[in-house]
A and B are shown apart, each in its own frame.
Chain A
């Protein structure tokens, strides 16, 4: 399945480290924003994720009555695994683990995995609020998934390929964000949504005592929180490859541009959390199906016509 070109065994070890560092940077930025809002020093906010990791690593697991431990553990560790599997198809400059011909479908399949994983987190604890959180996520998922699929399809149509390296190559003259902005925005919002983040974090929100996070503690909680940041990171990196020309840019090398763009987009995702209110899944459903889906379909149609006319 793997193509020899651009595949370097060392990258297999380095990619998770890069993913972890970017996720940590996102968590630090979030900590800074929280600290600023609470009037604490920014440095304490930036260090908060590190302390939180240390705290959770040492915390003893909380247990609940009649928990479905097997499914719960699978769910809790799942988000990080999904993010790592997504990383496999994301190119950073010349390096990519698997430049497979169906990489875009792979990315899509992995974000569907998040459906199962989040529901399992909610189910496993045998706690009402957790389960409600899991269901909230699925209710939200049926709203964002179809727009996300069409947002993913649009660059593939323009590049005549589901391979990410082809999509990047097709943007040499013009970045896809320029002539498919709707698909870009929908993709970014979907990334925020499948990461259960910011306006789309109702699955874990305070009105249901933390939802899917109600009963998780210790390492489980750490894996879930880290998994959310990792999903945001992979989403940002994939958006860079699909819409922002991958590593294209003056002076700096490819890989550095990819990282810079990913960091900027990731920062935007993190900031969104502190700027927008949460959207209830039942409200989101109507908006997503009545407005967003037709609009993104129209975007795909326009791109298809342009591609067909240009030949």
Chain B
């Protein structure tokens, strides 16, 4: 009974703050409404005894939204991020897509004949999660991580306005880096 109430409250918070993301007129409020939504989802995961996944979801989503707040205000042209603005564009298609996705997922959750549980959960779910990722799925991880890493490096190289050749000279021989603002190591 109590868990049903807690679950419902968290679910309502997750949904309501998810809706709020598109109803508010401020970038900051939209960002942190999304963060609240994710935190509620993280708390729901905690209810399934998925401690590690739940806490890590909260951790990563809050961090992500904090970083997003930096980028959105840094890169929005004319800085409308500091002014009231609408959070939606392409309204009709996004509404159709959103409703369609919701119906698909909710219909799936309700209509799929869920199998009965066979076996019992491990005593230490965090450890078994680690074994699952690092054991049988290790090959996938080993393949995925270099690709992800290469993507990050490539994106940084493309986006970086000043690389090491700008700083240390064409042959990287400069004694002191040429920085617009001095500071950091060895200066």
A285 within 8 A of B: yes
| Cβ-defined contact, B51 with A68, below 8 A | no
Identity of the chain B residue whose Cβ is nearest the Cβ of A160 in the assembled complex? B127
B69 partner residues in chain A, CB cutoff 8 A: 119, 123, 138
Q: How far, in Å, is A233 (CB) from chain B's closest CB? A: 21
Docked complex Cα distance between A100 and B49 (Å)? 11
Q: A79-118 toward B: CB 8 Å interface, digit per residue (1/0)?
A: 0000000000000000000001110011011001101100
Q: A109-B59, A115-B66 are in contact. Are A123 and B28 (CB under 8 A)?
A: yes
A286 partner residues in chain B, CB cutoff 8 A: 183-185
Docked complex Cα distance between A71 and B26 (Å)? 11
Q: How far, in Å, is A107 (CB) from chain B's closest CB? A: 10
Q: A283-B184, A286-B183 are in contact. Are A105 and B70 (CB under 8 A)?
A: no
Q: How far, in Å, is B59 (CB) from chain A's closest CB? A: 4
Interface of A is mostly: helix
Choose one: B49, B55, B67; the contact of A109 (CB below 8 Å). Answer: B55
Q: How far, in Å, is A254 (CB) from chain B's closest CB? A: 26
Q: How far, in Å, is B183 (CB) from chain A's closest CB? A: 4
Docked complex Cα distance between A116 and B65 (Å)? 8
| Cβ-defined contact, A102 with B126, below 8 A | yes
| Cβ-defined contact, A116 with B66, below 8 A | yes
A37 within 8 A of B: no
| Cβ-defined contact, B51 with A282, below 8 A | no
With most chain B CB atoms within 10 A of its CB, the pick from A71, A102, A283 is A102
| Cβ-defined contact, A68 with B70, below 8 A | no
| Cβ-defined contact, A68 with B29, below 8 A | yes
Docked complex Cα distance between A142 and B184 (Å)? 15
Interface size on A, residues (CB 8 A): 33
B interface bracket (residues with beta carbon within 8 Å of A):
20 to 34
| Cβ-defined contact, B185 with A290, below 8 A | yes
| Cβ-defined contact, B59 with A108, below 8 A | yes
B32 within 8 A of A: yes
Choose one: A70, A112, A135, A282; the contact of B70 (CB below 8 Å). Answer: A135
B13 within 8 A of A: no
A123 partner residues in chain B, CB cutoff 8 A: 28, 69
Q: Enumerate A150-180 residues with CB–CB distance to B below 8 Å.
A: 162
A291 within 8 A of B: yes
| Cβ-defined contact, A282 with B185, below 8 A | no
B170 within 8 A of A: no
A283 partner residues in chain B, CB cutoff 8 A: 183-184
Docked complex Cα distance between A101 and B56 (Å)? 13
Docked complex Cα distance between A101 and B46 (Å)? 12
Q: How far, in Å, is A237 (CB) from chain B's closest CB? A: 19
Q: A51-91 toward B: CB 8 Å interface, digit per residue (1/0)?
A: 00000000000000000101100100000000000000000
Choose one: B26, B66, B183, B185; the contact of A119 (CB below 8 Å). Answer: B66
Q: A101-B51, A109-B56, A286-B184 are in contact. Are A115 and B63 (CB under 8 A)?
A: yes
Docked complex Cα distance between A291 and B59 (Å)? 25
Q: Tell me the B residues contacting A by CB distance below 8 Å.
A: 26, 28-29, 32, 35, 46, 49, 51-52, 55-56, 58-59, 62-63, 65-67, 69-70, 124, 126, 181, 183-185
Q: Tell me the A residues contacting B by CB distance below 8 Å.
A: 1, 68, 70-71, 74, 100-102, 105-106, 108-109, 112-113, 115-116, 119-120, 123, 135, 138, 141-142, 145, 162, 280, 282-283, 285-287, 290-291
Q: A105-B59, A109-B55 are in contact. List 4 more A-B contacts (CB 8 A).
A: A101-B124, A109-B59, A116-B65, A285-B184
